[in-house]
Amino acid sequence: MANKLMILLVSLALVLAAAAATTTHLRFYMHDIVTASPPSYPAATALRAVKGMTPLPNDPTNRFGDTYVIDDSLTEGPEGDSRLVGRAQGYYMFASMTEASLLLSANMVFTAAAGKNYNGSAVAVLARDSILDTVRELPVVGGTGAFRGATGYGLLRTHSFNASSNNAVLQIDMYVQV
Ligand SMILES: *[C@@H]1O[C@H](CO)[C@@H](O)[C@H](O)[C@H]1NC(C)=O
Ligand SMILES: *[C@@H]1O[C@H](CO)[C@@H](O)[C@H](O)[C@H]1NC(C)=O
């Protein structure tokens, strides 16, 4: 009986060790550029594709339904000219009638600069992004290439936001298991 329990505990420890060993932590910055601002940001990478009808009660500049299609750059550091490690391709939509809360649906597509095996590999996220919260969680719903079948999550924090241009730099920590 004691032996069986021991074997069970050892197996459990091995399973936990194996699961922990495959977690990859990637930190990068996402540049959500609504207004081009040369020289750092020569072009907008977040374009409003759908204009909603109902202004948000506490934020009349945004409307329920506003949808931005994005091809945002992902870089190693927060500066605009920091080394490119990938792009966030997808969209975000104002999905709450009462709060500044987005549905963010995107593929984080990496270049070799993110890691030599990651060139062209993507992590897919589907998230509720309440933009005024300090930390938002990004559930990983899958991946391709080196990230095929990925699970995990990301933590999204606003690094900087310019209220006149609506440009934001977001810090993302991804914890991905394959
Ligand atoms: C990354 O992939 C692209 C597109 O397939 C290719 O052109 C490029 O040479 C690759 N870079 C490296 C460093 O493997
Ligand atoms: C904020 O955006 C405005 C409008 O694009 C720009 O003139 C200003 O320099 C920006 N501020 C900072 C701190 O980047």
Enclosing domain of residue 105: 23-177
* Predicted pLDDT at 60: 86
Can you tell me the mean pLDDT for 111-127? 95
| pLDDT tens digits, one per residue of 137-157 | 999 999 999 999 999 999 999
Residue 170 maps to a domain: yes
Residue 12 maps to a domain: no
User: Is 11's C-beta closer than 6 angstroms to any atom of ligand 2?
Assistant: no
119, 90 in Cβ contact below 8 A?
no
Residue 8 maps to a domain: no
End-to-end CA distance of the chain: 35
User: H or E segment at 172?
Assistant: strand 167-177
Residue 14 maps to a domain: no
As given in the structure block, the two tokens for residue 22 are 């495959």
Q: How far is CA 178 from CA 82, 122, 169, in A?
A: 28, 12, 27
CATH code assigned at 79 = 2.40.480.10
Amino acid (1-letter code) at residue 167: N
Indicate the top mutation candidate among 84, 111, 119 to test ligand 1's pocket, ranked by most ligand atoms within 8 A of CB: 119
Centroid of ligand 1 to alpha carbon of 32 (angstroms)? 24
Contacts of range 43-47, beta carbons closer than 8 Å, 24 or more positions apart = 45/70, 45/71, 45/72, 45/73, 46/70, 46/72
Residue 16 maps to a domain: no
Taking the CA of residue 162 as reference, the ligand 2 atom at the shortest distance is 1
The candidate with the shortest Cα–Cα distance to 74, out of 156, 177, 143, 170, is 170
Can you tell me the mean pLDDT for 168-178? 97
Residue 3 maps to a domain: no
What is the pTM for the complete model shown? 0.88
118, 96 in Cβ contact below 8 A?
no
Tally of domains within the chain: 1
Residue 172 maps to a domain: yes
Instruction: Name all residues whose Cβ lies below 6 A of ligand 1.
Output: 112, 119-120
| pLDDT tens digits, one per residue of 65-104 | 999 999 999 999 999 999 999 999 999 999 999 999 999 9
Residue 73 maps to a domain: yes
| pLDDT tens digits, one per residue of 5-48 | 566 565 656 555 555 558 999 999 999 999 999 999 999 999 99
